[in-house]
Amino acid sequence: MTNLSMLTDDELVMLYQNNNNSAFDELLGRYKDKLYTYIYFNVHDEDTANDVFQETFVRVIMTIQQGRYTATGKFYSWLMRIARNQIIDLFRVQKNENTVSNDDVDVDLFNNIQLADMPVENQMISEQTLVDVHRLMEHLPDNQREIVVMRYFQNLSFKEIAEATGVGINTALGRMRYAILNMRRMAEEHQIALTI
């Protein structure tokens, strides 16, 4: 009997493809805590984190069983990309579900100072700044835009960004630096006041 803990991730994947369920249990054991922590850190809710965790592994199982996994020696990075995509999809769905209409209520929800986190004028300025940032981000190279989104909109550490994107921490830091420099330059050229 082979000691599964001594095998590489790719060797375990191959065993699992050949119906060795213990190989998958070993893979799950290796990464479940790190993966769950990553997911929970992003969604901030235990039930949601459990759902995303389970959906991630369902996709992993399906991909492996269908023979679509390509062994590259980077199983954990692949696993993190699947989880990251699940989280992004979740946020997209939540954003669409959380649309509020002011038409169905007697109270003006959007201009009631007691219900507002900040005065409407400040909120409008903040939203305009966010719109300007998004417009500037559209002009960044894909690899820089991805780092900005993960850092500022998903609140990931540079270590987590490096793992999720499959690059080194220094590369992630460099891309962030260039993204900020590019956004500042574009903001100056278009006379947009940003505090980045």
Task: Give domain 1-99's CATH number out of 1.25.40.390, 1.10.1740.10, 3.90.1200.10, 1.20.20.10.
Answer: 1.10.1740.10
98-151 pLDDT, tens digit each: 555 555 555 554 555 554 455 555 555 556 666 777 778 888 888 888 888 888
Please state, in angstroms and rounded to a whole number, the distance separating the CA atoms of residues 128 and 121: 11
pLDDT of residue 196: 42
Helices vs. strands in the chain: H and E counts, helices first: 8, 0
**Fold match between domain 1-99 and domain 109-196:** no
142-179 pLDDT, tens digit each: 888 888 888 877 777 888 888 888 888 889 888 888 88
Please state, in angstroms and rounded to a whole number, the distance separating the CA atoms of residues 29 and 24: 8
Task: Give domain 109-196's CATH number out of 2.60.120.1060, 1.10.10.10, 3.40.50.300, 1.10.357.10.
Answer: 1.10.10.10
Please state, in angstroms and rounded to a whole number, the distance separating the CA atoms of residues 127 and 134: 10
**Domains of the chain by residue range:** 1-99, 109-196
- The pTM for the full model equals 0.51
- Read off the pLDDT of each residue in 28-40 and give the average, rounded to a whole number: 91
Residue 6: pLDDT band (50, 70, 90) is: very high
Segment 1-10 long-range contacts (CB within 8 Å, at least 24 positions apart): 8/73, 9/73, 9/75, 9/76, 10/71, 10/72, 10/73, 10/75
Q: Which two tokens stand for residue 104?
A: 């169905």
pLDDT of residue 15: 94
